[in-house]
Amino acid sequence: AQSVTQLDSQVPVFEEAPVELRCNYSSSVSVYLFWYVQYPNQGLQLLLKYLSGSTLVKGINGFEAEFNKSQTSFHLRKPSVHISDTAEYFCAYSGGYQKVTFGTGTKLQVIP
């Protein structure tokens, strides 16, 4: 079965420092990968997606992610975080059909 693993449940980081949130996926023929963000008391919203083409994907709010097929990873990065980035981040995977499977989430806590 398709799956994603988010290795860190919580990541504290100081404001303006860089951050990387890790995600690994189970291999499949077709791979579509996503990062969603969930702010407190809100639904999930799409941050960025990898469907095909360039392995470096840029999303909203200055986030980017790199698709690494050999390592089956799709880590999320931001060079300088802000207080407003405090949220929970979910990696998601789709193997080509409609089903989208989510990871367990990583809580990013930005410290002033």
- Which residues contribute to the site for another protein (CB under 8 A)? 6, 30, 32, 34, 36, 41-46, 49, 51-52, 90, 92, 94, 96-105
Which residue number, 27 or 41, has a Cβ lying nearer to another protein? 41
Name the minimum Å distance from CB 79 to another protein: 25
Contacts of 85 (CB under 8 A, 6+ apart): 19, 61, 78, 108, 110
Which residue number, 19 or 37, has a Cβ lying nearer to another protein? 37
Asked if 56 and 74 touch (Cβ cutoff 8 Å), the reply is no
Name the minimum Å distance from CB 99 to another protein: 6
Strands 106-111 and 10-14: parallel
